[in-house]
A and B are shown apart, each in its own frame.
Chain A
């Protein structure tokens, strides 16, 4: 099979300076509000909560070339829940992976920028997920394919915490652990929220870290808003070559806009004045 050409091809430059990334993430959060405001569609709280993870992955961690989204040696990224697209699409545009001027067709009829990310958008969407529980399986298959074809790309899968209730997640976990996939990095966006409220009110899932460890993952729990912690965990994941990693990233829904922070709303509407207030808070906030 073909071998990697990653050694003689430069990926997009990476940003790993925490102050610079905070600035990137603040702008991504602003975009989340701007994208959701016109139609009231899209997932605000989750987008604000995951902004730091998306900034870290797309600007600092992953090997990618925005001018060639099909580059065979790119790292693979799968957003298994698929619905957290206000932040996902904003990040893709900010990184140059999709044209910024397409962003504002988000959630409008005919647009490939759907609420659930689909491959209608092109190869930047590595698989059409959103039917919960499937993304990790696809990531495991990609990691196996990398091993088989002698390529050194990595699979990054972002899973929702409520999504862990899907049985297929644990089938995939068992497989990843069994195959010792050091090229697989799972990040759980642990915001403790699902449609019906707090995850523990719906179905108790603790202890989570111990579950992943028992399935053969190297697991650690971090503050999903602290870039130093995020990068340290991603580095340790790369260094664990003989087993998959699980990073439980604790995130706060609505993070960055104090009026929205901590509100457990799976699919909240954002009236104009609320959106305006959130934008002002983001401008004036701790990251300004």
Chain B
């Protein structure tokens, strides 16, 4: 008997296979922060539609089992239950993949969460083009859907450094919140601290005198790269992390746009109804005329694939952002 055969014994647990299947350890920044928050605030409940690992709520499930509710694969009911709980003084955080936490139960969110302005925090993972699973699991319109609901706050952390603070941000909003979350990539090194995320406040990551890239989520990193590419060409381009997409930080946006009238938006989402639309509406209504372009899924469904492959295929890389900026600014490279 080889040693390999010996390992394949009764001692193997299901978690051994799950661990082996992963590309490497992934820090549980959001999930651990939710447990910390829940220990300090006993109103917090955690509801999960059969995706505890993928939504980082396995820690909550194990640490605070009396406050964790397995809803089963039934998102519409999960939202209704959360509404009922919130009406009785609890603060439910509900979890699934972004596409199922929003599109699949839209009417339930409208009637049982948004209309009554209840403190239900809807937490979705796998935003946009971040899954191999394919079009069924890709949330490309969730920002648009949630943004269209009165009373809803929409927040997408820039990346791992803002994931802990997303919990506090959701709690700081007295009402419904949609958190659009992406787990860190395997091997992400966590410094144990992270950055703040203040609801409704854009973060100026980089100043620029020739224009600004307004980005959210994983496109912030691409926006910074694009600004570096453009800098090499002699353009001074700022980057704004618009982690709160609704309500939009109008003041900071208009300040940047007036100072340097070229604005390019970048989002891991359809260009219809999301960050780009929100920015365009705000600028037009304020009477600020800018060179303008949107980077995102160009009104199309995508497909399963690795994130770098998909971002390249669908025109959402740093090079694409830089190209859109040149066009919006009337520059040639």
The finding on whether chains A and B are genuine partners in a shared complex, rather than unrelated, reads yes
- Contacting pair B80 A141 (CB below 8 A): yes
> CA separation between A60 and B71, bound complex, in Å?
33
> Which residues from chain A contact B76 at a C-beta distance below 8 Å?
133-134, 137, 167-168, 171
> Which residues from chain B contact A172 at a C-beta distance below 8 Å?
77, 80-81
- Contacting pair A134 B88 (CB below 8 A): no
> CA separation between A167 and B105, bound complex, in Å?
12
B79 at the interface (CB under 8 A from A): yes
Q: Is chain A's binding surface mostly helix, strand, loop or mixed?
A: helix
Size of the A side of the interface (Cβ < 8 Å), in residues, is 33
- Contacting pair B67 A168 (CB below 8 A): no
B111 at the interface (CB under 8 A from A): yes
> Which residues from chain B contact A138 at a C-beta distance below 8 Å?
80-81, 83-84, 87, 112
> CA separation between A129 and B115, bound complex, in Å?
11
- Contacting pair B90 A145 (CB below 8 A): yes
A209 at the interface (CB under 8 A from B): no
Known: A1-B42, A138-B80. A171 touches B87 (CB 8 A): no
Interface residues of B in 48-107 (CB under 8 A from A): 66-67, 69, 71-72, 74, 76-77, 79-90, 92, 107
Interface residues of A in 124-182 (CB under 8 A from B): 126-131, 133-134, 136-146, 148-149, 151, 155, 167-168, 171-172, 174-175, 178
What mask results when residues 266 to 277 of chain B are scored 1 for a CB within 8 Å of chain A, else 0? 000000000000
> CA separation between A220 and B115, bound complex, in Å?
35
> Which residues from chain B contact A127 at a C-beta distance below 8 Å?
83-84, 87, 112, 116
- Contacting pair B74 A175 (CB below 8 A): yes
A119 at the interface (CB under 8 A from B): yes
Known: A127-B116, A178-B72. A168 touches B88 (CB 8 A): no
> CA separation between A152 and B283, bound complex, in Å?
53
> CA separation between A74 and B52, bound complex, in Å?
34
- Contacting pair B77 A149 (CB below 8 A): no
14 examples of A-B residue contacts, CB within 8 angstroms: A72-B89, A128-B112, A137-B84, A138-B80, A138-B83, A140-B77, A141-B81, A141-B87, A144-B69, A144-B84, A146-B88, A167-B76, A168-B80, A174-B74
By Cβ-Cβ distance, the 10 closest A-B pairs, closest first, are: A137-B80, A141-B84, A145-B88, A141-B81, A171-B77, A171-B74, A138-B84, A142-B84, A168-B76, A141-B85
